[in-house]
Structure 1
């Protein structure tokens, strides 16, 4: 466990001293270079690699990499796939890489792809939700925000295209959300911790401003061929939000400054895989992410009202 509940004073937000104590607990547990960069090296012949920034924390540096279609065609729509916004959510990273390795070639000539597999490499190595500054990037996707992981991605996205068809952001909901990261959030902000329930299964988070329910349902239908879908609890909710369809909830993406808000895409969704279920393996989780990306692309390409596909 990388959070010590004795850090800070209950009811009082953290200051510099508390953040320093938290940082001292965040030691690398896996290697971004070995796990992620090594697989990226195998993609360079098929895709154009874009190094879109460098994160430097306490003498350590991490280059941020994305891949885009090598034969970029301005006449085609653009789709964005992001993973590893929360570094501990492993299948988001591995699923994005697996999509590039296994499935992306099928979309050549149909859509321009921009894929950022590991948005938060420092947190990936430490299996953490936050960055070095104890900031959650996925509540700070705004141009003037405090998380460089988020602002660097925003800059890349805006420099790459002005118009997006799709953005799918790959995430996980884990048991450690309840045992570690939500208690840490409450301690950091000086607020009481209110226990919640972790759903067993895959679910999606739509944009409450434009949920595109048919699109979300198409993704759920594809993923349930790979892994089980999270049921609603006795209140008809998943993680405290009412369901709007089987395995589907909604958030105000822009209001919360979530990653899936950073484009003008007609179709937006956030996946949530549950890797701690006794019914799945890590490979099942990765395959679920790939299935979600492919289903999202297929539906978006078939149902766009903004882009006309070539005949």
Structure 2
């Protein structure tokens, strides 16, 4: 049974939904439903003739959406990872594309609060961390099979762990007995020297890195961005909220590349790539203000980027 935990507050809700421009007759996608914070606000502004398609790969999130908005004919939720937005939009019958897509890349509070999901080092639970518990290896299984060099890379790049080699060696030495979140946290805490970072548990970076690897979060994001452009209609908006520097860098680079025309070397006399810009950046990146950061600590690292689809 999922823990009630703290209330899940959607990050940058007003600013992100404003950027989508919800309104009558618009078809929008909430590609990462979570617990419906953004979806609820979108529906409030969508009008009677708008439609909202929500996606999530977490079966608990899908069940929540179906129960929460069961009486709203404008709402539909499908169990898909956001990388499969193309097939999901086709399944919804929206053959002409969509007018806006929102993706919040953060982990939802209910996932963190439910010890049985194994996302958090704060409570003892099975070492799982899968956003879809029925897909792929659990964190414990992944750690038992991962190559030593790959584990070190994941800890250094995804977790930005300064002591990646030391932590990786400790995990590898203990990986056959790592079954719970407490097991992993204990090994990492012992491996990280000193007192760690002020206000941050020594296990924080490792848990983030392992979660990102187990769920292939960067691979999913790369596939999502490419697919999202394909289903957006001209004038449609893409809004992506990131919490990790690698994710934000990927979004920023993707928008920049899609805003460029010809990418042939400057010494080519004529264009051979036939590349045309598909997106244009909209405004400056959105960041939470001091009030939101105070009320919702998970918003502190959030940054949202907005882009608009250009005509073919």
Q: TM-score scaled to structure 1, two decimals?
A: 0.32
1 or 2, which has the higher helix percentage?
A: 2
Q: Which of these two proteins has the greater Rg computed from alpha carbons?
A: 2
1 or 2, which has the higher strand percentage?
A: 1
Q: TM-score scaled to structure 2, two decimals?
A: 0.32
